[in-house]
Amino acid sequence: MRTRILYTEGKGSFTETGWDRPDCGDNEIAVTAIMTGICRSDIDMMEGNFGPLPINMSGHEGLGLVTKIGANITDVAVGDYVATRGEPAYADHYLSRQHEYVKVPAAEPKYILEPVACGMNIVISNIDAIEDREGPGKKLLILGSGFLAWVAYNTLLNQGHVFEIDVVGSSNRSLWGDALSQEVSGMYDVIIDLSSRTDIFDKVIYNEDALIIMGSQKTVTTDFSAMLWKAVTMTFPSPRNSSFQYCMSLAAQWIEEGAIKVDSFWTKAYNRNTEWQQAFEDGANRPSGYNRGYLIWSQNVI
């Protein structure tokens, strides 16, 4: 199938071009796009900070309508709405592989689950290591106060983990309130780093046998000696690990039940046909009041 797709070569903009969508395989579903979130990583690729990725990996925060299912697919049917992790969600029509989508109850922006699941996955993919270190008097630090940090923080609360939690960051003060601090203080048993800061490499702020969860991209120079002597464990959560579909399913459940409220994060909708260039420009420049934007294929909503 020939379809439209938005693609960047990393030269400062996205362009509209054509793409030949493959046929739907036995372990895939065919999806018609309804909404696609604009991720910071998409903007980074656009600005040449990494990538660009192949054309068939353009856009990954998808929400769409199932139009065909493969022979081995039993968990969704034609006509269902699905949130997808797979690419390319910037195409009008694309495929999603088994275990990379979940059924959702409605075509609403709060069910663009991929970024929510990313925040949850930071905790859930490390659940055993976190539980080994929790308890009365144990301390956990979240570096960064963006969307992923807020979701990770609420995942810790919803799951009842026992830590004294510090959150250090400067953005979204109205959201965090008294939970937000400016500077790191003390020693920590678990550190979740979602920031551009280099505290964990510049200072020894972790106890022996600490867990450091790296969820941010940064360039650092360090010899790791302090981490070596303190027997630190460092992990790197990814949407490509085996727990991610579970995180998407749990995100859908929590959103439907009101256990986590993400409606206010999707602050701007852009018409796919007429406003897509503005969508990427705003994603890069973040005008006042902007938090997260998404494209909407309004003609595909049923």
Q: Token pair 């490509």 is at which residue? A: 240
Sorting pLDDT into bands at 50, 70 and 90, what band is 301? low
Average pLDDT over residues 66-70: 98
Check residue 300 and give its pLDDT: 64
Nearest CA to 295 out of 6, 37, 16, 14 is that of 37
In a domain, residue 240? The reply is no
In a domain, residue 66? The reply is yes
In a domain, residue 241? The reply is no
Nearest CA to 289 out of 268, 271, 263, 272 is that of 268
Is residue 218 domain-shared with residue 126, that is, in the same domain? yes
Check residue 244 and give its pLDDT: 93
In a domain, residue 23? The reply is yes
Residue 104 has pLDDT above 80, yes or no: yes
In a domain, residue 103? The reply is yes
Is residue 124 domain-shared with residue 209, that is, in the same domain? yes
181-225 pLDDT, tens digit per residue, is 888 989 999 999 999 999 999 999 999 999 999 998 888 889 999
In a domain, residue 224? The reply is yes
Residue 274 has pLDDT above 90, yes or no: yes
**Residue 91 has what DSSP assignment?**
B
Check residue 92 and give its pLDDT: 97
The rounded distance, in Å, linking the Cα atoms of 270 and 254 is 26
Is residue 191 domain-shared with residue 168, that is, in the same domain? yes
The rounded distance, in Å, linking the Cα atoms of 57 and 100 is 14
Choose the final residue of a domain: 235, 250, 277: 235
Indicate the range of 39-43, 121-125, 260-264 predicted with least confidence.
Answer: 260-264
Is residue 206 domain-shared with residue 133, that is, in the same domain? yes
Is residue 142 domain-shared with residue 80, that is, in the same domain? no
Is residue 68 domain-shared with residue 146, that is, in the same domain? no
Nearest CA to 113 out of 247, 6, 19, 1 is that of 247
Which residues span the domain enclosing 148? Answer: 119-235
Average pLDDT over residues 30-45: 95
Q: Exposed, middle or buried, 258 (CB in 10 Å: 0-12/13-18/19+)?
A: exposed
Q: CB atoms < 10 A from the CB of 158, how many? A: 14
In a domain, residue 15? The reply is yes
Domain count, the chain: 2
Sorting pLDDT into bands at 50, 70 and 90, what band is 247? very high
Q: CB atoms < 10 A from the CB of 201, how many? A: 15
Is residue 57 domain-shared with residue 100, that is, in the same domain? yes
16-36 pLDDT, tens digit per residue, is 999 999 999 999 999 999 999
Residue 302 has pLDDT above 70, yes or no: no
Is residue 125 domain-shared with residue 231, that is, in the same domain? yes
Q: CB atoms < 10 A from the CB of 185, how many? A: 12
69 Cα distance to chain centroid: 26
Is residue 42 domain-shared with residue 138, that is, in the same domain? no
Residue 278 has pLDDT above 60, yes or no: yes
The rounded distance, in Å, linking the Cα atoms of 140 and 116 is 21
Choose the final residue of a domain: 218, 235, 252: 235
Is residue 108 domain-shared with residue 129, that is, in the same domain? no
Nearest CA to 39 out of 284, 285, 241, 298 is that of 284
Is residue 205 domain-shared with residue 140, that is, in the same domain? yes
Check residue 171 and give its pLDDT: 85
Return the higher-pLDDT residue of 83 and 264: 83
DSSP assignment string, 196-257: S--HHHHS--EEEEEEEEE-S--------HHHHHTT-EEE---TTSTTHHHHHHHHHHHHHH
Check residue 299 and give its pLDDT: 64
Choose the final residue of a domain: 220, 235, 250: 235
In a domain, residue 206? The reply is yes
Q: What is the CATH number of the domain that holds 90?
A: 3.90.180.10
Q: What is the CATH number of the domain that holds 156?
A: 3.40.50.720
Q: How many contiguous H segments (helices) and E segments (strands) does the chain have? A: 9, 15
Is residue 93 domain-shared with residue 162, that is, in the same domain? no
